[in-house]
Structure 1
Amino acid sequence: MRILLIEDDRALCAALQPALTGAGYTVDTCHDGADGRELLCGGSYDVCILDRMLPGLDGLSLLRTARTKGCTTPVLMLTALSGINDRVDGLDAGADDYLGKPFDTRELLARLRALTRRPGTSAETAVHCGDVTLDAAQLTLTGPHASVGLTKRECDLLEALLRAPGQLQSRSALLARVWGPLAEVEDANLDCYIHFIRRRLNTVGSTVKIVTVRGSGYKAEAGL
């Protein structure tokens, strides 16, 4: 199960990471509001922990924008602003739960379990888009004519695109999603993997296209 942690306190992130991974989560960490918005809107996460006070873009604005764009990922807002008015503002902005700092890690994990148990919010390993099905658990792509195996990185990249068909995924968001927010990776690596997944789609006979938006990024378009 994949979790997005948007928190600018790096020491807190470092403290939370072992507890989250120990609970079975794969954790992507982001420390900036604008980057966090792009990752969250990518639609590839099962749950998000969101700090309210972030550089670049505050948590409330980030969440409002994500909900406006149709993002349904469950969000737990985590912040030192824990008064009743603050909690109401967070919930009205689209948060599913609200936990004030300081907190007990056991309570945080229990709240995450509650969020991912809700109907319609559990992770689905199968992603359907147009005439293809991507099984992220088995690393397989199935289309009208065949099924092929994928590498983990190919699968992660294709999943990010197929979960939000028609939605532009910026290069920076895709690099952070697939290689990690702090990875030192060149843009050319992304272009190579886009080539790989286009070839996989062609192999299975799919009409789904990965469209290049020059200077911005990529998006998946389901064929007719």
Structure 2
Amino acid sequence: MNILVVEDERRLADSIVDLLHTNNYAAEAVYDGAEGYDCAASGIYDLLILDVMLPHMDGFQIAKRLRRDRVGTPILMLTARSDVNDRIGGLNSGADYYLTKPFNTGELLACVRALLRRQGPQTEVLSYGNTTLDLSTSILSADGGDSIRLSAREFDLMRLLLTSQYRNISKETLLTKVWGYDSNADENHVEVYVSFLRKKLTSIGSNLHIEAIRRQGYHLEVTQDD
């Protein structure tokens, strides 16, 4: 399970991430509302822990835009504002649960578990267009076409693209998610592996194309038959 924490109080955000890591969840933090929205909109997270008072874009705005964009990631909203109207506003904006600060860590973990349970069993495959990625075998296949097993890096990259589909993922995000924060990899590595994937999509008869948008990153497009 992959959890994103959007909280501008860095010590609190990092302590939540540490707590989640201790309880065997993958988690990371961002400290700005606009960056939080961009990360959450990628659709690669299983849960969003979202503060209300954030720079550049507040939690209510983030939740509303995500729901407008049909991103269904569960949202646990955190805030020091405990007024009932604020709680109603949070829920109406698209949050699934509203937890006020200060909170008990046990209660936070209970909320996390409850929201993750609502998603039900995790999918075994990701599909878009005529193309399917089997998450248990790393096999990429196309309806009526061929199939091919991806390398570990190719699999991670393709999984992110299929999860986001038509939404752009920046090169910086791909570097972080696929190669890691501490890697010496640069944007050229992303371009090389995107090239690998394009060739493999063509080889299996996929109708997907990896589109590059300058300064915005990559997304998938379904090629329509003439």
TM class, shorter-chain normalised? 0.7 to 0.9
- Judging changes above 3 Å, is the alpha-carbon distance between structure 1 residues 84 and 4 closer, same or farther for their aligned structure 2 residues? same
Asked if the contact 1:82–1:100 (Cα under 8 Å) also holds between the matched residues in 2, the reply is yes
Higher RCO, Cα 8 Å, sep 6+: 1
Distance in 1 (alpha carbons) for counterparts of 2:101 and 2:181: 24
Aligned to 1:100: 100
Asked if the contact 1:170–1:217 (Cα under 8 Å) also holds between the matched residues in 2, the reply is yes
Q: What secondary structure is seen at the aligned counterpart in 2 of 1:163?
A: helix
Could you tell me which runs of 5 or more consecutive residues in structure 2 were left unpaired when the two chains were aligned: none
Instruction: Give matches, 1:1-224, under 5 Å.
Output: 1-118=1-118, 120=119, 123-143=122-142, 144-151=145-152, 153-179=153-179, 186-224=186-224
Deviating above 4 A after TM superposition, structure 1's stretches of 4 or more consecutive aligned residues are: 179-185
Distance in 2 (alpha carbons) for counterparts of 1:190 and 1:158: 11
Length-normalised TM-score, structure 1:
0.87
Asked if the contact 1:7–1:29 (Cα under 8 Å) also holds between the matched residues in 2, the reply is yes
- Judging changes above 3 Å, is the alpha-carbon distance between structure 1 residues 12 and 137 closer, same or farther for their aligned structure 2 residues? farther
Report Cα offsets for 1:35-81 as digits up to 9, x if no partner. Answer: 11111111111111111111221111111111111111000001111
What RMSD, in angstroms, separates the aligned Cα atoms of the two structures? 2.3
Distance in 2 (alpha carbons) for counterparts of 1:91 and 1:53: 15
Deviation at 1:139, TM superposition (A): 3.2
Deviation at 1:184, TM superposition (A): 7.0
Identity of aligned residues (%): 38
Deviation at 1:148, TM superposition (A): 0.8
Q: What is the identity, as a one-letter code, of the residue corresponding to 1:141?
A: L
Distance in 2 (alpha carbons) for counterparts of 1:222 and 1:125: 22
Deviation at 1:17, TM superposition (A): 2.1
Length-normalised TM-score, structure 2:
0.87
Distance in 1 (alpha carbons) for counterparts of 2:171 and 2:11: 27
Bigger Cα displacement from structure 2, 140-149 vs 88-97: 140-149
Distance in 1 (alpha carbons) for counterparts of 2:9 and 2:46: 22
Deviation at 1:219, TM superposition (A): 1.0
Report Cα offsets for 1:136-175 as digits up to 9, x if no partner. Answer: 3443323330231331x43332222212322233334444
Deviation at 1:202, TM superposition (A): 2.9
Could you tell me which runs of 5 or more consecutive residues in structure 1 were left unpaired when the two chains were aligned: none
Report Cα offsets for 1:179-203 as digits up to 9, x if no partner. Answer: 5578775332322232232233234
Asked if the contact 2:137–2:149 (Cα under 8 Å) also holds between the matched residues in 1, the reply is no
Distance in 2 (alpha carbons) for counterparts of 1:137 and 1:23: 24
Distance in 2 (alpha carbons) for counterparts of 1:116 and 1:57: 25
Distance in 1 (alpha carbons) for counterparts of 2:185 and 2:169: 17
